[in-house]
Amino acid sequence: MNAESVAPESDAQMFNRYVTPEIGVLLRVARTMTSSRSDAEDLVQETMLRAFRSIRGFDGEHARAWLLTIMRNANINRARRTPVADSLDEPELLLERTPSDPAVLAERSEFDEAVRHAADELPAPFRGVVALVDLDGLTYADAAAVLDVPIGTVMSRLHRGRRRIKQHLIERGLAPRKAART
């Protein structure tokens, strides 16, 4: 028997297996949770550090939700150190990601612009969930981990947020008005 084949994974191996594949998602969500790219990168670094420290205790289930919870807590600590930040339980989540490239701006359709405008106008709790699910591509469960709210809350906020966006589009003639239900 080869003893090495049953040797437990090292911390570094576990980190590579569970954490490394999630870095892209963490960066996207961190960008939503923070106001600048450098803050987002700092937050992800801190998250990875904390994850590495506690990787031994991680059971291998739902790595993304585990990491998002770590990141949420790290962000609360970060916000405490930053005097301008408040509302720690419900951090302001940002949709604004203005492209600098004029070609990209020009490419945007009127529809896209209207959607983003409507999304930016949403009340913060709705906007946050829309950002996490539609921009960052999180599942409801993972968005719930970031916000530390029940999945039902994620769903109701998301649905109400999207309905408002749709209403905005209808008012601007960019989406068809609802016909009578059958």
Partner 1 sequence: MKRSFGHALLDTYTCHVVAKRLQRYLDGEVDGATKLRVERHLETCRTCGIDVETYTRIKAALARGVTDVSHAEVKSQQVV
> Which residues contribute to the site for partner 1 (CB under 8 A)?
28, 31, 34-38, 79, 82, 84-86, 91-92, 94-101, 104, 109, 111-112, 115-116, 119, 130, 133-137, 139-140, 155, 158-159, 162, 165-166, 169, 175-176, 178-182
Residue type, 142: D
Report in angstroms how near the CB of residue 32 gets to partner 1 at its nearest: 9
Report in angstroms how near the CB of residue 3 gets to partner 1 at its nearest: 43
Burial class (CB in 10 A: 0-12, 13-18, 19+), 173: exposed
Burial class (CB in 10 A: 0-12, 13-18, 19+), 125: middle
C-alpha to C-alpha distance for 17 and 58, rounded to whole angstroms: 12
Cβ closest to partner 1, residue 16 vs residue 36: 36
Report in angstroms how near the CB of residue 19 gets to partner 1 at its nearest: 20
C-alpha to C-alpha distance for 76 and 78, rounded to whole angstroms: 5
Cβ closest to partner 1, residue 12 vs residue 124: 124
